[in-house]
Structures are given as structure tokens and as C-alpha cells.
């Protein structure tokens, strides 16, 4: 009973610790080091339970019937045969009471019903089944009889704007007015130029293709819903589901402890979660609903195709005088989309700029954010145009870019950047790549030609959303970190542990992370847009410092010394200036009294009047087989400016992944829609090619220019996820041009396309 009696006496008062201050880090012991991931064991051993692995007792399996046509009215749905199939427990359609609801995807935003009467693309939801097994559910789908009234469809955004195009929504196929941007006088700028280039470029539509398909497991307790979801943002899913089901946010708990890739497609919630919730309510059973790989291709998002026209003018010395850029793209059958003009308006110093983005509806799967949405498309056009301009000016492409490095964001009122590492990326990258030597090297005179290319990028959105992190120091000196952020494979948990280890001197092995659970963790925005480190890391740091302050204040009380004289020495001891005075962390009475010391940290606001942006320059070396059109990327080098690198190992891994995705955009990935039927021809991993280990260059180098950024947040880290993939494809295209003198305007650079260009049948740049 001693323990209980001890507690029943109640704690005694203590002095308050001082306010949390976050000075810039000097030399660090843990932050920046190439530590392996804290959850590496679970991930590689298979003991990590991803939502796709998750099972509950008595759980049913659900499947969705999707419209097989590009555009149709759902006239009638006959579920009677399906309901009699073995194991089937529920079948729902848009006519089922309670299922005739709008599907919300953001606060107050909706654009279709859960099962809409009109199917606007191949993959639109028509009905759903819950059965004892997954096979029974898919079998039952086949027994549902649907009468469709087929409608004319349109697949090309430019055709969708023609006056006789079939309308996908009311009134117009435009998603809003064209987004226009202008500064200076473009006509005057081109008039003043010594050289001008102009060209039209296009990128193919890419599918995210995460290892783990989209889906959820759901369970009701009365009017409370728990969702195990594979997601980048548990709070985003909570909001969408709560709105569609008309529940208070507090009644929807979303747990996302692991997730097998998202690349932006899991930034938002999916209809499948609400469908699973309705089936679970009807059957009073937990329900699991995950998409098939085919559904994943059709209905889980994409990076939309864009057609871009770019015109750039410069003086002889390379100084840019004018840029004009226009783009047309498609959010797909429902509104979404991102600007592709950002780079054209802000990557280089240029007084005269004009840009337009147009977003149009087509009868195809809806776009979702995909790693640096809009930017790789913009880079494909702008950075090939810059390459063409350098050739026209007779300048080295690196030198041309160096002549136009910005110090401020022209797009945002010329607010200065907290740091601009573009020049360093260009210079350090060129040196490490052996750029000058490679440029001078002969291209070869056999059928295989060698070439090198360069392209740059920035990611315009630094800083990030609000975040609150709680850090607990246990009585034995071990630590628990509580953050709402999802770890989308980038090492978020590891970086959080490092930050806390740095401030508390605890080895990362003694730090546990609880994360991504709307019920038990505090708020964090969705993990995307290179924001997780800039947003959540300072919050974790503030929480850890608050814990340290409480510990030191307790030790000061115990040792009867002023707070300022004490510091944490290693993980275990608080010691004073006078080395004879010290106390073990676990012996600090305040810790014993409270059993845990709790610190709560929130992210401070972005620095005012400044802009946080990350920069990158990628270098590519290719071998082009002029007979077969095959392009082999032999070397890639990424020079990145993320300012502080939090973990050298996870940083490199993340950039490597970015390079491979860039390789996919440049070389292999393309959604093919059949113009006759409106259906996707390659909704599988056999026909849709993502790069494999054999496609990755033998040499792929990652370089951080390690800029010190004292302006950006407190700890000077800017993020890395997006800029690591933006310029890769353009650098490869420029290298192909260097090798064979042919400019490939349309991604991906496939052998048939290149052979056509080499034989003079395609357009050249």
C-alpha cells in the first residue's frame, strides 16, 4: 500500500520553470546524424501493422462497384441477385436510405454524391457490397445489374473547351476562370531581348501507385466511428468523414499509424471510408474496404497531364528580359488541380512575366496532389526552354541559370527569401558532377551517344501548418513523443526522436513515438508539401525544451541552486557549474512527484516579411541508342538546398526517391486513355511502367549544399520532399538533347517517341 498512500498525500508545490527559448542550434550531437529509422525493425520484420494488414474480430470485407464507362447516367441498379449471393451481408446504392448523401472532401466543399446518379469517369462509384470474405464481396459485385444511359465523353482538355464538347458539369467544362499572373511589360521585355526561344511542351498523366492501396477499416461504437486509414493526414480524413456523415469531429477517430506510400494521393480522404462506415452501420459489424490495384489506377488520383507553351527572352549576357507561360491541364471529372506556372514566375529574376493556368474538366479520374503538384510539369517546360535559350545564346546552361539567381520572391511582393541556395546548388552540383568535363566530352560516333543535362527548381511553399507536440519524460528517464503527424515513409518519427534526443540528451532507443491519431494526439497538418519537418520539428523541440526546463527547475530546487547554473549532462545527470553538485535525472524530486514531466510545444509562426523556399539543381547523364530510341540514364546528381539536414541518411533516401519519381515522369510513366471508349488501357503494373531497380542509374548522388539559414524557423530546416523530384525529368530531357540534338517536348521519353523524332517524323526543338 505504500505507493497508494504516497500518492494520497498529494504532491507538494514547486517553482515554475522559465519560459521556453529556442536559440539556434550550435554544434549538434544527434540532429543531422545519419541515424537509421526508429521504426526500421517493425517495417522490415513485418510486425508493423499497416491498415491493409489490420483486422478486427467479426470484420466484414467490402468492395465497390464502379462505372465501367467514361460518362453515363445510372438509370437503375438491381441488387436483388447480389443480396442472395453467399456471404453477402449488405448491398448499398445511391437509393439506399441514408446513403443518398453528399461526399465532402474539405470543409463545406462537395461536388458529387457518394453514389452519384451521373457517373463522370470510368471508376465512379455506383454501389457497394459487404460480405464475409473479400472474394465473396467481389463476386457479388458481378451480380449487380446496372442500366446505364451512355453519354458522350471528352478526354482532352483542349477539346473539352470546344463549343460542342459534352458538358461534364453544369454550364461549363472550366473549373473556374483561368488563373492569370503578370508583372512588368512582357512585350517590351521580348523586344529588348537578344535571343528568344518559344516552344510547346506536354507532360503525361501519372498515377501515384503507392505500394499500399487506398482503404480503411472502420468500426462503430454507438455514434462514434473509429477509422484505421492509410493516410497522410488523419485530421483531414476526420474532417471529410465527419462532414459527410454529419458527425461532430470528436465522434470520428482516425488512426493512421503506418502507411505504405501516398505521394499526395493520401492527403485527402476517400469515398471508400464513408462507404465502409455506412456498410458497418447497416451490418453492425466492423468493415474493411481496400481498393484493388485496378481501382487504384482508375480512382485514387493522379498528376494530371499538362500542355504548356513557354517563351523566354534574354540579353547576350544571359540576363532574362521576359517570360511568357501558359498551361492547360485537367483536374479530371471533378475539380482539383495545381498551378504549373509557379516556376516560370519565380525561379529566376525577371522583370517582365506573364502566365496563365487553365483547369478543365474531362471524363477521367480526378487529380490529386502528387509530390510537388504542378511543379515538375512546369519544370519540364521552363527548364527545357532555358536549355534551348542557353544553346541559342551560346552559353553554358549552368552559367545562364547562375546569371539569374533570385534573392527575393518576385511572385510575393519581392519579399526576401530566408535563404537562397540556388547558386550553391548550381556551382557545387556542377563541380561534384564533373559538369564542365562532361560537356566537353565527345558524344560518341557509334549508334550510342552520350550527353549531360541540367535543370533547376524551387519549391515555393516553405514553413507549414500549425502543429502541437507533447513530450513526456518518464520517471526512469525514458521519453514518449506524441505528434499528430503521419510518417509517410520519410522518417518523420525518426527526426522527431532526434530533436527530442538532442534537447534531452536521451538516446533515441529510449524514445517512443505515438503519432497520427485524431483521438490521442494533438493537431498536425497532413504530411505533404515538404512541410512535416518545418512544421512539427519546432513544436517537438519546444516541447522537449519545456520538459528540460521543468527538470532543471526541479533539480534547482533539490540542489538549492539557481536554475541558470544547471545543465543536463548526458542522459542521466543534472549537474551544476560546481562539478561536485549533481543529481541523477531519475532522482529529481519533481519527476518522482509527477511521475512524468510533460511539455507541450506548438509551432511558432513563419518569420514575418520573408519567404521560405527550398532550391535544387539536378544533373543527368544519358546514353541514347539512336537505333532503338532507348535512353539509359547512367548518372544522376541532385544538389539540394534544404538548409539544415535533420538526418543525413533519411535525407539522402528521400532525395533518391525523388530522383526515381522524376525518372518515371521523364522516361516511363503515362496513363493511356482509349479515345474510342474513354477507358484506361493500362490500369495495371504490367502496362503502366514505374521505374524498377533496373531503371535506376548505376550512380545516383545526393548533395546537400548545407546552407545555414538562421531566418527560417528556429532550427533552420526548410524541408526536402518536393524539390527532390521537380527538375529531374527536365534534366534528363536536356541530356538527351545534348546527346542527340533532339528535344523531346512530350513526356515520357519512350523509344517509339524518340525514334520518331530522330527519324524526323516528330517535332524538334
Q: Which of residues 545-604 bind its own copies (CB under 8 A)?
A: 593-596, 598, 600, 602-603
Q: Are 195 and 387 in contact (CB under 8 A)?
A: no
Cis before 748 (ω within 30)? yes
Question: In the structure grid, which three cell numbers stand for residue 574, read together?
Answer: 543534472
* Element counts in the chain: helices (H) and strands (E): 20, 30
Restricted to residues 235-294, the positions that interact with its own copies (CB under 8 A) are 235-236, 239, 242, 248-251, 253, 267-268
Restricted to residues 342-371, the positions that interact with its own copies (CB under 8 A) are: 369
Indicate the residue among 69 and 371 with the shorter CB distance to its own copies.
Answer: 371
State in angstroms the smallest separation of the CB of 305 from its own copies: 17
Residue closer to its own copies (CB basis): 79 or 535: 535
* Rounded Cα distance, 50 and 519, in Å: 18
300 binding its own copies? (CB under 8 A) = no
Q: Rule CB under 8 A: is residue 3 a binding residue for its own copies?
A: yes
Nearest Cα to Cα of residue 237 among 615, 518, 521, 478 = 518
Residue with cell 464538347: 165
Grid coordinates representing 639 are 544538389
Question: Does the protein bind its own copies through residue 480 (CB under 8 A)?
Answer: yes
- Give the end-to-end CA distance of the chain in Å, rounded to a whole number: 85
Contact set for its own copies, span 447-466 (CB under 8 A): 461-466
Site for its own copies in 58-117 (CB under 8 A): 106-107
Closest approach, Cβ 335 to its own copies, in A, equals 10
Please check whether residue 339 is in contact with residue 460, taking contact to mean a CB–CB distance below 8 angstroms: no
| Cβ burial 197-216 (10 Å sphere, 16+ → b, else e) | bebebbbbbbbbbbebbbbb
Residue 36's Cβ-side half-sphere holds a number of Cα atoms within 13 Å equal to 7
Q: Which of 662, 727, 722 is nearest to 696 (CA)?
A: 662
Residue number with CB closer to its own copies (186 or 369) = 369
Q: Which of residues 622-681 bind its own copies (CB under 8 A)?
A: none
Site for its own copies in 367-426 (CB under 8 A): 369, 373
Stretch that binds its own copies, among 474-482, 623-631, 639-647, 678-686 (CB under 8 A): 474-482
Contact window for its own copies (CB under 8 A) among 20-28, 344-352, 472-480, 757-765: 472-480
For residues 220 and 563, which CB has a smaller minimum distance to its own copies in the complex? Answer: 220
- 728-740 helix and 375-393 helix, angle to the nearest 10 degrees: 30
Closest CA to 715 of 495, 484, 426: 495
Say if residues 93 and 115 touch (Cβ distance below 8 Å): yes
Only one residue has cell 542550434, namely 25
Among all chains, which residue has been given the C-alpha cell 546537400? 704
Is residue 15 part of the contact set for its own copies (CB under 8 A)?
A: no
Q: Which of 21, 26, 27, 45 binds its own copies (CB under 8 A)?
A: 45
Identified binder of its own copies from the candidate list 111, 220, 563, 685, rule CB under 8 A: 220
CA distances from 17 to 24, 568, 569, 691 (A): 20, 15, 18, 54
Is 529 or 629 the residue whose CB approaches its own copies more closely? 529
Min dist. Cβ of residue 718 to its own copies (A): 12
| 60-66/125-131 β-pairing | antiparallel
Which helix (H) or strand (E) segment holds residue 588: the answer is: none
The residue among 707 and 712 lying less far from its own copies, judged by its C-beta, is 712
Mark out the alpha helices in 394-455 (DSSP H runs).
397-402, 422-433, 435-440
Shortest distance in whole angstroms from residue 609 CB to its own copies: 12
Distance in Å, CB of 476 to its own copies, minimum:
5
- Using the minimum distance from each CB to its own copies, give the nearer residue, 109 or 407: 109
Q: Which helix (H) or strand (E) holds 129?
A: strand 125-131
Q: Smallest gap, in angstroms, from Cβ of residue 378 to its own copies?
A: 14
In this structure, are residues 337 and 359 in contact, taking their beta carbons and an 8 Å threshold?
yes
Number of residues that bind its own copies (CB under 8 A): 87
Q: Which grid cell is 592? A: 518522482
The three cell numbers of residue 250 are: 470528436
Q: How far is the CB of 267 from its own copies (least distance, A)?
A: 6
d(CA 482, CA 372): 27
Q: Which region among 11-19, 178-186, 210-218, 621-629 touches its own copies (by CB under 8 A)? A: 11-19
Among positions 23, 26, 171, 222, the unique one binding its own copies when judged by CB under 8 A: 222
Nearest approach, Cβ of residue 450 and its own copies (Å): 39
Can you say whether the dihedral through the CA atoms of 731, 732, 734, 739 is positive or negative? positive
Task: Compare residues 432 and 600 and give the one whose CB is closer to its own copies.
Answer: 600
Of 394, 605, 609, 760, the one binding its own copies by CB under 8 A: 605
Q: Interaction with its own copies in 317-346: which residues (CB under 8 A)?
A: 336-338
* Residue closer to its own copies (CB basis): 148 or 474: 474
Strand, helix or coil for residue 329: strand
d(CA 129, CA 289): 10
Q: Which is nearer to its own copies, 79 or 341 (CB)?
A: 341
Q: Which is nearer to its own copies, 557 or 630 (CB)?
A: 557
**Cβ(667)–Cβ(633) below 8 Å:** yes
Instruction: Give the shortest CB-382-to-its own copies separation in angstroms.
Output: 20
468, 492, 498, 704: residue in contact with its own copies (rule CB under 8 A): 468
Query: How many other C-beta atoms are found inside a 10 Å radius of the C-beta of residue 131?
Result: 26
Nearer to its own copies, 395 or 496 (CB): 496
Q: Provide the β-strand partners of residue 601.
A: 469
Of 72 and 227, nearer to its own copies (C-beta) is: 227
Of 11, 24, 36, 86, the one binding its own copies by CB under 8 A: 11
Secondary element (H or E) of residue 340 = none
Residue 726 CB, shortest distance to its own copies, in Å, is 15
Q: How many residues does the chain have?
A: 765
Interaction mask 501-530, its own copies, x per CB under 8 A: --------xxxx-x--xxxxxxx-xx-xx-
Helix (H, G, I), strand (E, B) or coil at 299: helix
Q: Tell the smallest beta-carbon distance from residue 237 to its own copies (Å).
A: 12
Taking CB under 8 A as the binding criterion, the range among 6-14, 142-150, 687-695, 755-763 that sits at the site for its own copies is: 6-14
174 vs 510, which CB is nearer to its own copies? 510
**Of 21, 27, 221, 437, which one interacts with its own copies (CB under 8 A)?**
221
Q: Shortest distance, CB of residue 608 to its own copies, whole angstroms?
A: 8
Could you tell me which of 300, 284, 299, 152 has the C-alpha nearest to residue 218? 284
Closest separation between CB of residue 525 and its own copies, Å?
5
Amino acid at each position: 500500500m505504500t505507493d497508494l498512500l504516497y500518492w494520497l498525500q498529494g504532491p507538494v508545490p514547486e517553482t515554475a520553470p522559465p519560459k521556453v527559448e529556442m536559440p539556434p542550434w550550435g554544434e549538434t550531437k544527434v540532429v543531422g546524424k545519419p541515424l537509421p529509422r526508429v521504426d526500421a525493425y517493425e517495417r522490415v520484420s513485418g510486425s508493423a501493422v499497416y491498415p491493409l494488414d489490420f483486422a478486427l474480430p467479426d470484420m466484414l470485407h467490402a468492395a465497390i462497384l464502379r462505372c465501367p464507362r467514361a460518362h453515363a447516367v445510372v438509370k437503375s441498379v438491381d441488387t436483388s441477385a447480389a443480396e442472395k449471393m453467399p456471404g453477402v451481408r449488405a448491398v448499398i446504392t445511391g437509393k439506399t436510405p441514408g446513403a443518398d448523401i453528399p461526399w465532402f472532401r474539405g470543409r463545406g466543399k462537395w461536388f458529387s454524391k457518394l453514389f452519384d446518379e451521373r457517373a463522370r469517369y470510368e471508376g465512379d462509384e455506383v454501389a457497394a457490397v459487404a460480405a464475409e470474405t473479400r472474394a465473396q464481396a467481389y463476386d457479388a459485385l458481378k451480380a449487380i445489374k446496372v442500366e446505364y444511359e451512355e453519354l458522350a465523353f471528352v478526354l482532352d482538355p483542349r477539346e473539352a473547351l470546344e463549343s460542342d464538347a459534352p458538358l461534364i458539369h453544369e454550364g461549363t467544362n472550366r473549373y473556374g476562370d483561368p488563373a492569370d499572373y503578370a508583372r512588368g511589360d512582357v512585350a517590351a521585355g521580348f523586344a529588348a531581348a537578344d535571343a528568344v526561344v518559344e516552344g510547346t511542351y506536354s507532360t503525361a498523366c501519372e498515377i501515384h501507385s503507392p505500394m499500399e492501396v487506398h482503404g480503411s477499416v472502420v468500426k462503430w461504437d454507438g455514434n462514434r466511428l473509429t477509422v484505421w486509414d492509410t493516410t497522410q493526414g488523419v485530421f483531414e480524413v476526420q474532417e471529410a468523414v465527419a462532414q459527410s456523415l454529419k458527425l461532430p469531429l470528436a465522434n470520428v477517430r482516425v488512426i493512421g499509424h503506418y502507411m505504405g506510400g501516398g505521394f499526395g494521393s493520401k492527403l485527402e480522404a476517400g469515398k471508400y471510408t464513408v462507404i465502409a462506415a455506412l456498410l458497418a452501420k447497416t451490418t453492425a459489424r466492423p468493415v474493411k474496404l481496400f481498393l484493388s490495384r485496378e481501382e487504384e489506377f482508375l480512382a485514387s488520383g493522379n498528376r494530371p497531364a499538362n500542355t504548356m507553351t513557354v517563351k523566354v527572352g534574354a540579353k547576350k549576357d544571359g540576363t532574362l528580359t521576359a517570360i511568357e507561360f501558359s498551361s492547360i491541364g485537367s483536374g479530371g471529372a471533378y475539380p482539383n488541380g495545381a498551378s504549373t506556372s509557379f516556376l516560370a514566375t519565380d525561379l529566376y529574376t525577371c522583370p517582365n512575366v506573364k502566365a496563365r493556368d487553365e483547369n478543365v474538366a474531362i471524363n477521367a479520374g480526378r487529380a490529386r496532389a502528387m509530390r510537388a503538384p504542378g511543379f515538375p510539369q512546369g519544370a519540364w517546360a521552363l527548364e527545357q526552354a532555358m536549355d534551348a535559350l542557353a544553346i541559342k545564346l551560346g552559353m553554358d546552361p549552368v552559367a545562364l541559370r547562375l546569371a539569374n539567381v533570385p534573392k527575393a520572391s518576385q511572385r510575393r511582393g519581392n519579399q526576401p527569401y530566408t535563404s537562397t541556395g540556388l547558386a550553391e546548388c548550381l556551382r557545387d552540383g556542377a563541380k561534384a558532377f564533373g559538369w564542365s568535363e562532361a560537356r566537353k566530352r565527345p558524344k560518341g560516333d557509334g549508334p550510342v551517344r552520350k550527353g549531360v543535362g541540367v535543370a533547376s527548381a524551387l519549391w515555393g511553399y516553405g514553413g507549414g501548418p500549425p502543429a502541437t507536440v507533447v513530450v513526456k519524460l518518464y520517471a526512469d528517464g525514458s521519453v514518449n513523443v506524441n505528434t499528430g503527424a503521419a510518417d509517410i515513409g520519410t522518417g518523420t518519427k525518426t527526426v522527431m526522436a532526434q530533436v527530442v534526443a538532442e534537447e534531452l540528451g536521451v538516446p533515441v532507443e529510449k524514445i517512443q513515438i505515438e503519432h497520427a491519431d485524431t483521438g490521442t494526439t494533438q493537431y498536425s497538418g497532413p504530411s505533404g508539401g515538404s512541410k512535416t519537418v518545418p512544421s512539427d520539428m519546432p513544436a517537438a523541440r519546444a516541447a522537449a525544451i519545456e520538459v528540460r526546463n521543468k527538470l532543471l527547475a526541479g533539480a534547482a530546487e533539490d540542489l538549492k541552486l539557481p536554475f541558470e547554473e544547471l545543465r543536463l549532462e548526458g542522459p542521466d545527470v543534472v549537474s551544476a557549474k560546481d562539478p561536485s553538485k549533481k543529481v541523477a535525472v531519475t532522482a529529481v524530486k519533481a519527476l518522482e512527484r509527477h511521475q512524468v514531466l510533460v511539455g507541450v510545444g506548438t509551432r511558432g509562426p513563419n518569420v514575418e516579411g520573408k519567404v521560405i523556399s527550398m532550391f535544387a539543381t539536378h544533373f543527368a547523364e544519358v546514353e541514347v541508342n539512336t537505333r532503338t530510341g532507348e535512353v539509359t540514364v547512367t548518372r544522376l546528381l541532385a544538389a539540394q538546398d534544404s538548409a539544415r539536414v535533420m538526418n543525413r541518411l533519411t535525407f539522402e533516401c528521400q532525395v533518391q526517391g525523388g530522383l526515381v519519381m522524376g525518372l518515371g515522369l521523364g522516361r516511363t510513366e503515362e496513363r493511356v486513355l482509349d479515345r474510342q471508349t474513354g477507358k484506361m488501357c493500362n490500369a495495371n503494373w504490367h502496362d503502366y511502367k514505374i521505374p524498377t531497380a533496373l531503371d535506376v542509374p548505376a550512380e545516383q548522388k545526393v548533395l546537400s549544399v548545407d546552407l545555414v539559414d538562421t531566418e527560417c524557423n528556429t532550427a533552420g530546416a526548410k524541408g526536402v520532399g518536393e524539390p527532390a523530384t521537380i527538375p529531374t525529368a527536365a534534366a534528363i530531357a536536356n541530356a538527351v538533347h545534348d546527346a542527340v540534338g533532339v528535344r523531346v517536348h512530350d513526356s515520357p521519353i519512350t523509344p517509339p517517341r524518340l525514334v520518331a523524332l530522330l527519324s524526323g517524323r516528330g517535332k524538334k526543338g
